[in-house]
Each structure stands twice: as C-alpha cells, then as structure tokens.
Chains A and B, each alone.
Chain A
Amino acid sequence: MLGFCLALIDEPNDKEKFVEIYNTYKEIMFRKALSILHNEAVAEEAVQESFLKIAKNISKVSAVKSSRTAAFVIIIVRNTALNCLKSEHINDTEIIAYETVDVSRDTLKEVFSELGFNYLVNEITSLDPIYSDILSLKLIHQYSVSEICDILDIPVKTAESRLYRGKRILAKRLEDYYNENKTDNQ
C-alpha cells in the first residue's frame, strides 16, 4: 500500500517538458499562425498565447517529440490564431438535439478498403479545422469535453455542437461516397 501511495505522487519535471516543447515546436507554430493571420506580429502574439495555454495544460502532455504532442500544439495555435481573427464559422449557439451519428454498416465496410480510407483522410483534411481539431482532441488525445473547453477556451455547448456536427458531416460525405460507388458498380 505504501508503494502505491508513493507512486501516485511521482511526476516528470514540467519545466523541462515546457522548455523542450518550446524549442521543438515554436517554428512550426509560428508558421501555422502566420498562415492564418498573415501578420508576423499578430502571429507571434498568437504563438505566445498558445504557449500560455500549453503551460496551463503541461501536466497533460506526455512524450514531447511525438505526433500526438505535435498535433496538440498545432490545434492550440490554430485555434488561438482563429480566435485572433474573431471569425465565426457557424452559429454555435444553435441547440441541437444530439442523437447517435448513424453510419450504415455497409458504408463502414467501404471505408475499411484502402480507397475508402484514403477518401476519409481527404475528407477529414478538407473538414473545417474547428471540427477536425476538436475531433482530434476528443478521439486521439482522449480529453473530456470540459477539458477541451479549457484548452480551446470555448463553451461546453459549443464543444458538444462541434463534435456532433463534425461527425455528422463526415458521416454524410461517406454515405454519399458509398452510394456513388454502389451506383457505379451496378
């Protein structure tokens, strides 16, 4: 029992992690912010604010040099940059009756093929980042909705709405793809 209690309170050094994240990803983050904001000064501010958010969530970061952490920092800087633009993509306050996103088993089978999977990757790449980022935080990083809200600084309803809409958009596109392929093969 003693070993269990002591193991619970051992953690790696957060300061070293933060410094390593800064040195590893600052360039990439700047370029991403610049691609959105097209202004070096504002892009620097966005990067700085992003590192503030990363500092607040530093304990949630595991391996620094991993695709998962790279995706995490990009999501933060992208959302910070978009917030700087103050652009609204959708009416996030719309209340949605959440249901299970229904995808047929035949459609899923189609996605299991190489062509189908590549199509899904392309659709996710072209998906509005406000959906793909939140899907990444939820499905890859396994954050809860409340944790996502803290990271992206958005309300809970907005986060839930974007999660649902993102999956629904993808499901709709995949169903259309499946129906097209089924028609072509007939």
Chain B
Amino acid sequence: MKIRQTTNEEIFDLLICDALAAKWDNELEELKKDSGVHSFSASVESNIKKMTRTISMNCAFKGAGKTMLKTLILVLIFMGVLFGGLLSQPEVYAAVGNVIRNVFATHDSYTYQSNDGKTDFDNTKKFGYIPDGYELRSAFYSDYNVSLTYESTDERYIYFDYGLAENSMLSIDNERHNYTELNYDGTTYYFYESTEEDFSTLIWYDDGYYYSIDAQLDKDTLIRTAQNIG
C-alpha cells in the first residue's frame, strides 16, 4: 500500500510538472502581448551595471582560481609521475668490476655479471677461521651455491653463502643497517652493520664467486672470517 502511494505521488509530481510547463507557456505568451517599452531610471541602470561589474570580478577571480587549480593539478600530476618514477629507480647506480649495486628505498640489490671465466663450481669452500664458540651445524649444497650454518654455544648463528656469481642477485635491507664500503687487499667488501643489534651482513665478490656472511659479529671479526675462506 505504501509503495503504491509513493508511486501515485511520483506520477502526480510528473503530471504537475507538465501542467506547470503548460501554465508557464501560457503566462509568458500573455506577458509578451503587452506592448510598450519601459525606460528604466538612471539609478536602476547604474545599479545593474554595478551588479554586472561584480559578477565580472567574481568571474575573474574564479578564472584565476581555475587557472591556478589547473596549474596545481598539472604540477601535482607531474610530481606524482616524477616521484613514482624515482621510487622505481635505484637511488644510486654503482658498478665495481662485475658487481652492480643498486640502491632502493628499502633495500640494496647486488647483481653479478660474470664468473670471470669460471665454469666448474667448487663446493668445498668453508671458513678457515671460525670465531670462538662456533661450530658447523648444517650444510646445503646445490649445483651452483652452498649454504653453511655455524652455531655458537649460546645459540648465535653465522650464515655463510657462496656461489658462482653470474646471473646471481642478493638483496640486503638498508633501512635497519648502516652501509660501509671497505677495501682490503684489492677486494671490495660491502658491510651492512645492524642498527638494532641484529644480524650484520658482509658481501663481496672474488674470482668468479659471490660471498655473503650474515652474523651477529663485529666488523673486524667478519672481515677476518671473510679473508680466511679456503
């Protein structure tokens, strides 16, 4: 019943709308029949001109506002595109030998371009120097890389990874680590020191292989470990 009442009212509104349109047509026809032209007084004409000037000023302000808004939109879009483009691009592009280091907002990535002629993979490498208290706990071997895990007596770990460099890639968090580039005996080491007493990372490339050590060790111990791999 209520739905029917609502529909009836809507139909009624439509009929009234049509009837009003017809009424206005008739009324305007009657008004147009009246003859004679009225000359408005000077004050009315003057006030109308003032209103016109006010509207003109408002239009000018609106126009200026529109132009500024359009400019602002264009600038914002340009900045958005630029910013988006910057986010997708490495902040720094660096290449040292075969190693290409790219820096992004949240991580650094390392890409290795060749093995320097190496084709046979040597999976016998291990630490020549093991920090006190650590022992080899597990080893994982594949055709192109090795992962070794060392554990200490107080349950701390060293993760040692290495493999043939060509077409390999590593990613390291750079938000919670301080980065330093180190050079010892002609080898460039990339050191990521943890800022939260977590794992620090040392990465380097040598003679066709990439190497990576993750451990809760200081820089000097990591370097010493890295320099004694055999």
Contacts and interface: CB of A to CB of B under 8 A. Distances in A.
Contacts of B55: 14-15, 18, 55, 58
Interface stretch (B16-24, B95-103, B192-200): B16-24
Interface residues of A, number: 53
Nearest to B17: A139
Interface stretch (B29-37, B130-138, B177-185): B29-37
A48 B56 CA distance: 18
A103 B13 CA distance: 11
A56 B66 CA distance: 19
Nearest to A30: B38
A28 B52 contact: no
Contacts of B5: 100, 102
B68 to A, nearest CB: 10
Interface stretch (A3-11, A80-88, A148-156): A3-11
A125 B25 CA distance: 11
The size class of the interface chain B forms with chain A is 35 or more
B12 A70 contact: no
B47 interface: yes
B207 interface: no
Given A100-B9, A135-B16, A51 B51 contact: yes
A102 B128 CA distance: 98
Interface in A50-108: 51-52, 55, 58, 67, 70-71, 74, 100-105, 108
B23 A125 contact: yes
A132 B20 contact: yes
Interface string A111-148: 11000010011001100000010011001100000000
Interface of A: 2, 5-6, 9-11, 13-15, 18-19, 22, 26-28, 30-32, 40-41, 44, 47-48, 51-52, 55, 58, 67, 70-71, 74, 100-105, 108, 111-112, 117, 120-121, 124-125, 132, 135-136, 139-140, 167, 170-171
Give 6 closest A-B pairs by Cβ, nearest first: A139-B17, A71-B24, A15-B56, A120-B19, A15-B55, A121-B19
